[in-house]
Structure 1
Amino acid sequence: MKGWLERLRKGYGRKLVMLHAWNGWLVVILALSGLLLLGGFWRGVLGEGRVWLKTLHIAVGIASVVPIAYYLALAGKHWKQLRGKRWQKFNVYVVLGFLVGWLLSGLLLWQFKLVGPRVSNVALIAHDVLTWMGLPYIIYHSITRAKWLKDPKRRTVQSEASSVDDLHPAAPQPVYTRRAFIRGAIGAGLAVTIGPSFMKWLGESMGGAGGSGSIDKLIASNSNELLPAPQPMPASSPPIGGGAQGSFRVYTVTPIPSFSNANWSLRVDGLVDQPLEWDWEQFVKLKRTVQVSDFHCVTGWSVYSNTWEGIPVKEMLEMAGVQKKAVSAIFHSGDGVYTSGITLEQLAKDDAMIAVMHDGKPIPSDLGGPVRLIVPKMYAYKSVKWLSRIELIEGEHIGYWEQRGYANEAWV
């Protein structure tokens, strides 16, 4: 072990340069892949490629163990070189902190089923915060340490130094070097471009705690126009769950559709004794029940204590009459693209619901309204938004995301 460390330290300078380059490329790849995974537009464009991109993101994240361990092996030698250089020592601490934080939170997100929703939810927030803070810091550090900024011939803004003796005037003194100016400009640019987005994200995250901030914004931007509005049951208003805790993140693979009385209906057909179809006025008259449940996304975030109001799936299927050879149900989205398949055995649970209200208010379009499926014990990619049709079939249906690599068994 000592011999290995000694060999590492002998080639310290060259290895440290390689280490910085390795770290730089890791951050670039992780940043680009992470932003693509986050963007709603790219979710639809990438299709199955999103699953491969997620795998790449995880693999590169795990690979960051190598430069971290390598740096720690060189730490003793490097620390001697930084004696008296407080800013550079601080920078080492910060960059290592970001790398270790990304690694640990990323590992928890990767193993979301093992650690459970509450741990993965905290890990996702930590991962986001580290990204919002770490990415601009590392960009700034990388640019301002570039060779062209260290040019000894860089220009300076000079001051006219006064002298008591006019015969021996003092030499002009630099007030602001080009390097300092560009560093300041880069820092200001990053603050202006990234700062507002970070503050918006922070405000939505803080406002969503307790269910008031982001939910109200989604309701305010609701594009659906259906009348009459469903009237909440006493258990929904005020919500018996106390109000949803957390913030919904709006993901979609298509542009968000909008509905009115003229273009909305819900059908139950396929292997049923009596195909059924409701328009909006008929649907809101159906008897509804209320449940309190948590909502878990496979990407790591959760919203707790949601009060949903709607019709249990098993009751709706009983109205249509399920034929003996029926095994599964295909849930079709009103966007015309998204589907998901769930077995009738899984749908027999009491909390599988066709929901029309959330916390005593109509479900907004961004959240999948006017009507969406809710299966609380499964990850949310099974809970189809903008539900328009339930089709009973003999075999198993592989839905939109399941075709693109997600597990067909989506139990939390």
Structure 2
Amino acid sequence: MIRLKWIHHIHGVLFVLLLLSGLFLYFPTTRTWFNELRFPLVPFHIWTSILYATVILFSLRSVFKYVKNKPYIKFYNVGFNVTFIFIWIVTGVVMYFHTYFPPEMTNIAVYLHGLFTFLFIPWLLVHTIGHLFKLHLPWPKWWKRKAPVPESIAENKLNRRDFIKFTSLGVLFLFIGGAIKWFQPILNITDPNARRGYFRIYNVTSDYPTYEDTEWTFTVSGLVNNQKTFTMEDMQQLPTHTIVDDFHCVTGWSVLNVEMKGVLVNDIFTEYNISPEGPYVTAYSGDKVYYDTFTVSQLLDEGAMLVFQFDGEKLVHSQGFPCRLYHPKMYGYKSVKWIERLEFTNHRAKGYWQTWGGYDLDGYL
């Protein structure tokens, strides 16, 4: 009994840490705060979930043995929790090992992982408030005690009151899940937009750069034969290219068939007779914080672009307006938003997420 109490307390602490870190990751503002603090929120969430799953697996047999002869409400409580935990574990594994699954599957895993978190919140609030303030909900006696089940329930014939209770609870869950705009598509998985995916906004600073078209400039500097600064007007004189590609994030979500329009980095160098004299290049964001590094070949020979439009529209502010870098063979963290400068060097430094998050230096898909 004492052992189960300790398991319950450990379960509660770990679950709260998982819930809070998950919500912090979900909301762009809080995720940005933790990025600014250099707190490894994603690794923290992953390692906490592994510890949580371990505790659950080792305690499951004892818990089910304990509730076997307990009131129905306790057995239901355990079954309800285990169902949600199973869904979180499965979807979390798919998200973590997303390279082994098709993007459509990982997108649905991302939606379900978050959706079931929000659907769980009403029960969590009722459960927590009830324990803290010793509140007792008016459950039927047969539900709270190990008493004979009424004939209407045993025969699966709900009376009017039972029907209203169960219907109200179901509507409440759907409302909470459906009210979250990001998760609405999962309520209709056949919706092609749900399978296509949706952009999540991940920034490392809350201080976004703001530009008008005439203010933004792009500079090529460092070890090149011809250092030059380009205006938006200069960029508009270059040939544009449109590609349709899948945008992948290292955290597991994707947006499929994104139409991107921009200028090839190689065309800029060819048009203005710029020749790199250093083998590496650092791309700097206009937020004055973010940067990433590449080899010269990666930017000039692998189709890297300066992108100005997604799906026929100008980039929105949070997506990097007016211009962002895009490499078609690399994860989104290599796609530097609000790009302002390329600096060529003899030595390759680690990028922002290689320094603070341990991400792969090249970031190939």
TM bucket (normalised to shorter chain) is 0.7 to 0.9
Change beyond 3 A, Cα 1:36–1:50: farther
Question: Mean Cα displacement is larger for which, 45-54 or 59-68?
Answer: 45-54
Q: Is the 8 A contact 2:291 2:351 kept in 1?
A: yes
Q: Give the letter for the 1:411 counterpart.
A: Y
Distance 1:394 1:360, change over 3 A: same
Q: Please, which of 269, 275, 278 is the counterpart of residue 317 of structure 1?
A: 269
Partner in structure 2 of residue 200 of structure 1: 181
Residues 308/18 of structure 1: CA separation in 2 closer, same or farther (3 Å cut): same
Equivalent of 1:245, from 196, 207, 212?
196
The CA distance in 2 between the partners of 1:206 and 1:399, in whole Å, is 38
2:104/2:196 contact within 8 Å kept: no
Hey, what's the Cα distance between the residues in 1 that align with 2:57 and 2:265? 52
Residues 94-243 of structure 1: pairs in structure 2 closer than 5 A = 94-115=80-101, 117-146=103-132, 148-149=134-135, 195=176, 198-203=179-184
Q: Does 1:18 align with 2:2?
A: no
CA deviations on 1:220-276 (whole Å, 9 max, x unpaired) are xxxxxxxxxxxxxxxxxxxxxxxx932111121223322114421112222222223
Letter of the 1:107 partner, please give it.
Answer: V
Change (3 A) 1:337 1:67: closer
Amino acid at match of 1:70: F
Asked whether the equivalents of residues 284 and 339 of structure 2 are also in contact (C-alpha less than 8 Å), the reply is yes
The counterpart of 1:65, out of the listed 32, 53, 56, is 53
Once the two structures are overlaid, the 10-residue window that deviates more, 267-276 or 355-364, is 267-276
Distance 2:53 2:313 in 1: 47
CA distance in 2, matches of 1:363, 1:399: 23
Q: SS at the partner of 1:64?
A: helix
Which residue of structure 2 aligns with residue 358 of structure 1? Answer: 310
Match status 1:280 vs 2:229: no
Equivalent-residue separation in structure 2 for 1:262 and 1:312 (angstroms): 21
Any gaps of 5 or more consecutive residues in structure 1? 1-12, 152-183, 214-243
| 8 Å contact kept, 1:48–1:404 | no
1:408 pairs with one of 349, 361, 364:
361
Give the 3-state SS of the residue equivalent to 1:121 in structure 2: helix
Instruction: Determine the C-alpha separation between the residues in 2 that align with 1:362 and 1:48.
Output: 27
TM-score, normalization by structure 1: 0.71
In the aligned structure 2, how far is the partner of 1:307 from the partner of 1:36?
A: 30
Alignment of 1:251-270 (within 5 A): 251-254=202-205, 255-270=207-222
2:119–2:177 contact (8 Å) kept in structure 1: no
Q: 1:147: Cα distance to partner? A: 6.5
Q: Secondary structure at the match of 1:139?
A: helix
Q: Give the conservation status (yes or no) of the 8 Å contact 1:333–1:384.
A: yes
Aligned partners of 2:224 and 2:276 also within 8 Å: no
Q: Is the 8 A contact 2:262 2:305 kept in 1?
A: yes
8 Å Cα contact 1:295-1:302 kept in structure 2:
yes
Alpha-carbon displacement from aligned partner over 1:65-103 (angstroms, at most 9, x marks no partner): 333223432255334323xx4333322211011112222
Which whole-Å deviations, capped at 9, do the CAs of 1:278-311 have from their partners, x for residues lacking one?
2222322321011111101112111000111111
Identity of aligned residues (%): 30
Note closer, same or farther for the CA distance 1:282–1:348 as it changes in structure 2 (3 Å cut).
Answer: closer
Q: Is the 8 A contact 2:304 2:325 kept in 1?
A: yes
Q: Could you state the TM-score of these two structures normalised by the residue count of structure 2?
A: 0.79
Letter in 1 for 2:243: Q
Aligned pair count reads 330
Counterpart-to-counterpart distance in 2, 1:201 and 1:302: 14
Which deviates more, 49-58 or 99-108?
49-58
Do 1:266 and 1:277's aligned partners in 2 also have CA atoms closer than 8 Å? yes
Deviation at 1:360, TM superposition (A): 1.7
Which has more radius of gyration? 1
| Alpha-carbon offset, residue 44 of structure 1 | 4.1
TM-aligned CA deviation for residue 340 of structure 1: 1.1
Contact conserved, 2:246 with 2:256, CA < 8 A, in 1?
A: yes
Matched with 1:78 is: 66
Q: In structure 1, what is the Cα distance between the partners aligned to 2:42 and 2:68?
A: 39
**2:37 paired with 1:37:** no
Structure 1 residues 299 and 319, CA gap change in structure 2 (3 angstroms): same
The amino acid that maps onto 1:253 is V
2:351 matched to 1:399?
yes
Distance 1:55 1:276, change over 3 A: same
2:277 and 2:344 in contact (8 A); partners too = no
Residue type at the aligned position of 1:408: L
Cα deviation for residue 384 of structure 1 reads 0.7
Rounded to whole Å, the distance in 1 between the matches of 2:10 and 2:267 is: 58
Aligned position for 1:328: 280
Secondary structure, in 3 states, of the residue corresponding to 1:376?
Answer: coil
1:81 is paired with a residue of what secondary structure? coil
Cα distance in 2 between the residues matched to 1:55 and 1:308: 31
Asked whether the 8 Å contact 1:379–1:411 carries over to 2, the reply is yes
* Helix, strand or coil at the partner of 2:341: strand
Take 2:215 and 2:2, find their aligned partners in 1: how far apart are those partners? 67
